[in-house]
Amino acid sequence: MKILLVEDDAVSLKLVSTVLEKEDYEIIIAKTGKDALGLLKTDTDIEIIVSDIMMPEMDGFKLLNYVKSSPKLMRMPVILTTAMNDKSTVIKSIEMGAAGFVTKPIDQKALLAQVKKAVESIPGSILVVDDEDLIRNVLSRIITRAGFKTTLVSNGDDALSALEKQKISVVLSDMKMPGMSGLELLEKVKEKFPKIPVLVMSGNQSEFNKNNLISAGADGYIEKPFNNTDIILKLRSLIK
């Protein structure tokens, strides 16, 4: 788990990075909001931001605003730190969408609790299951552009093992695949991971099959050839 730490004061920087590294978080440092933006553009492994508020050039509020208004970054939790402790700053942070707020002197336990909560709030991957390379790649591009992570697999068995191993928010599965069919996969996912929504995609489904999908617990149906907007809107409605 990689955290972008934005802090212009060297003492606070050392303290916060030491506390987070002790808990095995990977830290990348920016000393100004502007540097932070540069890193956010180039380093796609960053999952959380811990940022000071008062900094030269671009302050923590502006950074938070940038993150929350970028479709790609808007789900990234931002925890703000500050030596201010007036109520209005805390309220402003929360209203602007900060995931947490830590005042200086830094309370290690409070900081770690907020980071842990932020980690839990990060959506998992969208698991794309399709036997066709081209479709997987197109879907991956559409979905990552909307700010979600993707995990790509070509069959039902690999899908089930991905579900065992990592945090998955939604399964997006083709119906017609060699080996395990989409319907079988749907049934297995609903049995083993009942909380994970499944969207199924297919062309030319008869009414009979659509009814089967509904009784098997599908959370949505995407007609092929698919419409990009339709996929993103359905994913968004499933990931709150």
Partner 1 sequence: MSFDYQKAMSVVENDKDLFNELFQIFLEDKDNTFSQIESALQENKSEIVERSAHSLKGALSNLGATTAVESAYTLEKLAHSNDALSIKAAFDELKNQINNFIEKVKESEDLK
Chain residues in the site for partner 1 (CB under 8 A): 8-12, 14-15, 18, 52, 54-56, 82-84, 104-108
Give CA–CA dist 95/188, Å, rounded.
Answer: 41
Considering beta carbons, is residue 52 or 174 the nearer one to partner 1?
Answer: 52
Residue 141 three-state SS = helix
Q: How far is the CB of 175 from partner 1 (least distance, A)?
A: 55
Residue 184 contacts residue 155 (beta carbons within 8 Å): no
CB of 32 to partner 1, least distance (A): 11
Whose Cβ is closer to partner 1: residue 74's or residue 83's? 83
Which is nearer to partner 1, 51 or 125 (by Cβ)? Answer: 51
Q: How far apart are CB 81 and partner 1 at their closest, in Å? A: 8
Question: Euclidean distance between the first and final Cα of the chain, in Å?
Answer: 21
Nearer CB in complex with partner 1: 8/131: 8
Q: How far is CA 229 from CA 72, 74, 76, 129, 143, in A?
A: 15, 18, 22, 19, 10
Shortest Cβ 8–partner 1 spacing (Å): 6
18 CB-contact burial (10 Å; exposed 0-12 / middle 13-18 / buried 19+): exposed
Tokens matching residue 12: 């606070």
Specify burial of residue 227 (Cβ count, 10 A radius: 0-12, 13-18, 19+): exposed
Q: Are strands 100-103 and 46-52 parallel, antiparallel or unpaired?
A: unpaired
Q: How far is the CB of 237 from partner 1 (least distance, A)?
A: 41
- Please, what is the minimum distance in Å from the beta carbon of residue 18 to partner 1? 6
For partner 1, which is the closer residue by CB, 74 or 84?
84
**88 or 215, CB closer to partner 1?**
88
